[in-house]
Amino acid sequence: MHIRTAGLILMACLYGVQVCASEPQDVARALASLKPGYALAGKASPRFLRGDFDGDGIPDLALEVTHSGDQGLAIFLSSRQRPVLIAAGKPFFAWSETSMDFDEWSIYPKQTDVEQGVEGAGSPPKLKGDALYLKWDEAGSGLVYWAGARFEWYQQGD
């Protein structure tokens, strides 16, 4: 392990962020930049994903995180200095829940057309970048996608 990586892990531990020594350097650095109390979650696998979420052609990083027991996302866009936090203790989208509690997640490539969602979901979005596909076992699925100024939700299944 490089001294720099060890230092980032030590810094993360000092600030209450949990990180595994086997995580890549950019994941350790991203975790260390979060406020105290955030941890890399382990419910879904993998614990982090890379994609071009805002469509600028530069890879971005998404982490599955928890804060006070609430699961959510920390998305690090190359075009922004601070991460975008979704759920993980804060209400997200039009829902009042503060935990996403999803079981699976994956990259939904931007070149893939989005199929019509559930009744009332509206028209499928035209993706500007890669989306995050979230799935709850026996409970539904949807996309977290960049709408140009913020992330939005599109419900695909119930």
What pLDDT was estimated at residue 2? Answer: 39
What pLDDT was estimated at residue 113? Answer: 94
**122 close to 132: Cβ distance less than 8 angstroms:** no
CA distances from 125 to 26, 62, 155 (A): 30, 20, 11
Return the domain boundaries, the chain. 1-40, 41-157
What pLDDT was estimated at residue 22? Answer: 52
User: How far is residue 5's CA from residue 103's CA, in Å, rounded to a whole number?
Assistant: 29
Q: Give pairs for 118-123: CB < 8 Å, separation 24+.
A: 118/155, 118/156, 118/157, 118/158, 121/154, 121/155, 121/156, 122/154
Q: In which residue are the tokens 């979650």 written?
A: 41
pTM: 0.82
What pLDDT was estimated at residue 99? Answer: 84
All residue ranges of the chain with pLDDT < 70 are 1-23, 96
Per the document, the length of the chain is 158
User: How far is residue 132's CA from residue 91's CA, in Å, rounded to a whole number?
Assistant: 18
Strand order in the sheet with 104-108: 104-108, 131-136, 140-146, 151-157
